[in-house]
């Protein structure tokens, strides 16, 4: 029988690359236990669960979160594909469950969060900023949630600045990348990669490249465990792991 001091965790997407890593990390962590694990096609049952960790698919995550919120279960989410309409929907659901906390983190790597913060800090000092993200060939969405979040932070930091110079007048579709909040984002998908991103800033005869590389999915687990341990203390919606760090 579980000790009352244990946080009981359900892992959604437990057989996937990230989900299986979460199962191992939670199993090895003090004060946490895997109370349930689910994958594609499984019926969800949150009885006896305190926190659910979701690393599933953008097509499934909203239904999973609705089930969590209705069950009064906190959620830590690494699944990507969240735009403003999805975040607005989550806020609406959470308004009816004011004690439930949901953490949406585009990236759980501590170094990745620092990369995003450093990029936003540097952005106002350069004429132009572009983002290149590189991931494994099995990733479902492009650009990545990390790249989207980085672009949003960079864009916010550049408010009031002139538009970035770009004389492109003709191009093939997609050649200049996706426009995310006014920042160009380029996605690369290659076998053998895990998760990599560089932010290239330039202007005034110099450039700065801020790069983050994850070589192993274990690099995300400290952030996941931090989220699991913290989410109950943050009712409502929290976006970005940086909210839990002293940055």
Residue numbers annotated as active site: 135, 139
Rounded CA separation 45/144 (Å): 30
Between CA 15 and CA 24, with CA 19 as vertex, the angle to 5 degrees is 100
In the structure encoding, which two tokens stand for residue 171, read together? 């191009």
Strands 206-214 and 195-203: antiparallel
Rounded CA separation 116/150 (Å): 5
240: left (phi over 0), alpha (psi -120 to 50) or beta: left
In the structure encoding, which two tokens stand for residue 183, read together? 């920042």
In the structure encoding, which two tokens stand for residue 78, read together? 């690494």
Rounded CA separation 61/76 (Å): 11
| Spatial CA neighbour of 55 closest among 183, 207, 221, 172 | 221
């Amino acid at each position: 029988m579980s000790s009352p001091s244990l946080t009981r965790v359900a892992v959604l997407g437990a057989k996937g690359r990230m989900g299986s890593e979460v199962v191992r990390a939670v199993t090895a962590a003090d004060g946490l236990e895997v109370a349930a694990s689910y994958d594609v096609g499984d019926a969800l049952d949150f009885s006896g669960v305190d926190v659910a960790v979701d690393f599933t698919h953008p097509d499934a995550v909203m239904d999973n979160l609705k089930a969590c919120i209705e069950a009064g279960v906190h959620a830590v989410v690494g699944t990507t594909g969240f735009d403003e309409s999805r975040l607005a929907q989550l806020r609406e659901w959470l308004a009816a469950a004011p004690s439930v906390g949901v953490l949406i983190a585009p990236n759980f790597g501590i170094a990745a969060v620092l990369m995003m913060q450093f990029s936003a800090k540097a952005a106002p000092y350069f004429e132009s900023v572009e983002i290149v993200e590189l991931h494994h060939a099995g990733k479902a969405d492009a650009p990545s949630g990390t790249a989207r979040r980085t672009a949003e932070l960079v864009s916010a930091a550049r408010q009031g600045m002139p538009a970035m110079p770009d004389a492109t007048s003709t191009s093939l579709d997609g050649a200049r990348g996706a426009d995310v909040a006014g920042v160009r984002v380029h996605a690369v998908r290659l076998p053998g990669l895990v998760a990599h991103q560089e932010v290239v800033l330039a202007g005034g005869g110099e450039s700065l490249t801020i790069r983050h590389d994850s070589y192993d999915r274990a690099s995300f687990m400290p952030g996941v465990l931090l989220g699991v341990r913290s989410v109950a203390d943050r009712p409502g919606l929290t976006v970005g792991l940086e909210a839990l760090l002293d940055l």
